Structure 1
Amino acid sequence: MHTDEAHQATLTRCVERLRQQMPAVGLRNPKIGNAHNRWIYCNGADWVMGFQTGQLWLAYQLTGSSAFKNAAQARRPEFEQILRDRRLRDHDLGFQFSLSSVAEWLLTGDDRARAMGISAADALLARFRPEGGYIQAWSAQGTHDREKAAFANGRMIADTMQNLALLYWAHRETAIEDYRDVAQIHAATAASCLVRDDDTSFHTFLFDPSTGEPLRGETHQGYADASCWSRGQAWLMHGFAQCYAATRDPAHLDVARRLSAKAEALVGSTAVPVWDFNLPDTETPYIDSSAGAVMAAGLYLLADQDIPAEEALRWRAFADRLIDGLLSTCDLTKTEGAQGLLAHGAAHVPAGRCDTMLPYGDYYFMEALMRSVGHTQFFW
């Protein structure tokens, strides 16, 4: 079967799996899979809660079926609760609201959805730390856990690059320069602090909370501070490609190219990226289907930019190879009884969460498949 046909057939199975599972999932938001390919659900607000909603909006975009639209809109109260309670908000507002409120606004023109998206962008903007030029990642508030607060304060992480799209969207909607300016400053800081000279990446970077002085790169979900966590590399690849698509700033394109070329070398001939590219022989080389899906989606996005045709073919070929790896190794869309789309995701290996379904792997798998067959309208 031709690549486009195989990807379209898989995408059709993804939509059908979502349709089949709606009565089982209901209003719940998948958090992680169990050993039987069934979902364990979020308990209230969670950074992953937007990915089921995002898949439903993608399915609505593809089919026009009101069942998907209704299921996505029915989740609105949980997102409204995040906007009412500052304790529930952190840097992941883009993951949550680009895939829910912004998606709803773009596909239905609902004014309340637009207002929610702007409110979420305002909350993300408020996390900007001008002394260091970055958006604070996790919240360091409260006195109940001083160790956690000390770890979180003054920290940026690779994942935030995926959330900048909410700020760029808010700038397009309102023409308020603050949104774009903060996104641009954070991206520049990420390029200088999270991206190493050899084009691998840190997961996190720590700044002096009072002065903004850059201190050191570290990890949280990777193997070691000096290693390269594959999903972190993927977040940055997709994120800088997003930034370039939003701004046409050549600095973003340069970083996206460098990160993608390094990932190409690190993945090598393997079918699916290992969870960290610098594992010693003593560590189990779990693969991470979510890293492969995020990388593939970012590479297709990069290939669709105004770059030379030969280069675009290179990134598309790499993305096709990653999708082929997912199809041969991780695809659950033909597995009877599975509730998700991809197996073998690595959520947080140091914490023991690996070899499982992940809602973000599923979302980016759908996005990558759509990009691979020519779709260009998304919610980022």
Structure 2
Amino acid sequence: MSNQYKEAIEASLNKIKKNIDRFGAQFPHTSDQEVYELNDNDNWTSGFWVGMLWQAYQYDKDEQFLSAAREKTSQMQERLSNNANLDTHDIGFLYTPSTGAKWQIEKDETAREDTVKAADRLMERYRETIGVFQAWGPPNDPEQGGRIIIDCMMNMPLLFWASEVTGDIKYKEAATNFVDMARRYLVRGDDSTYHTFYFDQKSGQPIRGATQQGYSDGSTWTRGQAWAVYGFALAYRYTKDENYLETALRTANYFIKHLPEKVIVDWDFDAPQDKDIKPDSSASAILVCGLHELLQLIEQESEEYKKIKTVLEQTMDHLINEYTTDFESQGLLDHGSYSVREGKSPDDYVIWGDYFYLEALLRLEKGFHGFWYEVV
């Protein structure tokens, strides 16, 4: 297996090196006809490209990757300084793989300070009266004011980290409150997940589960399920709350139980299996990272460990052999899905799919773990 992972990493790094010049000062988001659409630094996905550059440098210490990673991180720092397009719950996706990565790799104090500032910016979306981070819209928005999203589980590591490095418990308390609410309301009784959930923003009373990108309000959006697996595993790593590990394992087992014969999942577990069904390789890449994290947290001799390890290896084998792109391609993984429901899914490359695919490879080959926590 190891040779396969090493070869896949080398192929990925060759594409990333070419993309440094292709992308220039801009940032990739999703692709159209196998060409990445580039944005100014104004999207929720900007941090993933920066994180890929830091991961590439972490792997082989190539100065070209380091120079590009520093340059893109500087752009992220400028965005933070200008408070530009940061009214989002996805601050963790933006700054954990950028300034957070720079701090972890280079121990740059300015990067550490900026990552804490990013945590402060995320805290502006915390609605203390009901203990949640609002997904979209301004405070007191009549439609979105009490709405949370499963994706935000992956933004909580930024807050847990901020408490550790500053000694200020407020970040951890807010993150813990959110994780508790997500566990109680976003995770259903059968261990599947809602994409979003509405609360009365004044009383905190639960209203209903809903979706934004899944097939239906009651369906299970596969990328959301993968966010849950990984997010609850990371929450357990930071807090050692056994409830979080249990939830990570429950959501992982639901995912595993519903794997299709082809192993790589479609965009929603409940979407009609017709000729127009779209796969989502990014959901499977995220799942691998979450499963690998779980393997670090459970008993190695257990049947659970063996089952998870088998599924992880099968999934990576299919991603590498059936979903990776050719040498000249810009993307690392093909057949990623963005938002089928909203008509924004080209069945092509998505930058978060590329990021988590590379993270998965580096986890398996080198024992790296992304930048979601520090190992002291």
Structure 1 spans left out of the alignment, 5+ residues: 143-148
Partner of 1:341: 332
Query: Which stretches of structure 1, 4 residues or more, deviate above 4 A after TM superposition?
Result: none
Report the Cα offset of residue 82 of structure 1: 3.4
Q: Name the amino acid aligned to 1:309.
A: E
Aligned mates of 2:77, 2:199 — CA distance in 1: 30
Are 2:62 and 1:65 equivalent residues in the alignment?
yes
Q: SS in structure 1 opposite 2:102?
A: helix
Aligned mates of 1:360, 1:128 — CA distance in 2: 25
The aligned runs of 1:183-198 (5 Å cut-off) are: 183-198=175-190
Partner of 1:140: 138
Range that drifts further, 70-79 or 280-289: 280-289
Contact 2:26 2:39 in 1 (8 A): yes
Aligned mates of 1:41, 1:79 — CA distance in 2: 19
Percent of aligned pairs with the same amino acid: 32
Cα 1:309/1:84, change in 2 over 3 Å: farther
Contact 1:275 1:287 in 2 (8 A): yes
Aligned mates of 1:83, 1:158 — CA distance in 2: 28
Partner of 2:240: 248
The aligned runs of 1:290-329 (5 Å cut-off) are: 290-310=282-302, 311-329=304-322
Range that drifts further, 150-159 or 226-235: 150-159
Range that drifts further, 114-123 or 346-355: 346-355
Partner of 1:146: none
Report the Cα offset of residue 87 of structure 1: 5.1
Range that drifts further, 132-141 or 165-174: 132-141
Report the Cα offset of residue 351 of structure 1: 2.2
Contact 1:230 1:275 in 2 (8 A): yes
Contact 1:27 1:71 in 2 (8 A): no
Are 2:368 and 1:371 equivalent residues in the alignment?
no
Report the Cα offset of residue 141 of structure 1: 6.0
Report the Cα offset of residue 85 of structure 1: 2.2
Please report the RMSD computed on the Cα atoms of aligned residues, expressed in angstroms: 1.7
Contact 2:232 2:248 in 1 (8 A): yes
Report the Cα offset of residue 27 of structure 1: 2.2
Q: SS in structure 2 opposite 1:329?
A: helix
Cα 1:281/1:296, change in 2 over 3 Å: closer
Report the Cα offset of residue 330 of structure 1: 1.2
Contact 1:105 1:114 in 2 (8 A): yes
Partner of 1:145: none
Report the Cα offset of residue 211 of structure 1: 1.5
The aligned runs of 1:10-25 (5 Å cut-off) are: 10-25=8-23
Query: How many residues are treated as equivalent by the alignment?
Result: 369
Aligned mates of 1:13, 1:87 — CA distance in 2: 33
Contact 1:138 1:152 in 2 (8 A): yes
TM-score normalised to the size of structure 2?
0.94
Q: Name the amino acid aligned to 2:112.
A: R
Report the Cα offset of residue 242 of structure 1: 0.9
Partner of 1:152: 144
Aligned mates of 2:26, 2:216 — CA distance in 1: 34
Aligned mates of 2:35, 2:290 — CA distance in 1: 28
Q: SS in structure 2 opposite 1:74?
A: helix
Aligned mates of 1:5, 1:130 — CA distance in 2: 49
Report the Cα offset of residue 308 of structure 1: 4.0
Structure 2 spans left out of the alignment, 5+ residues: none
Aligned mates of 1:79, 1:319 — CA distance in 2: 35
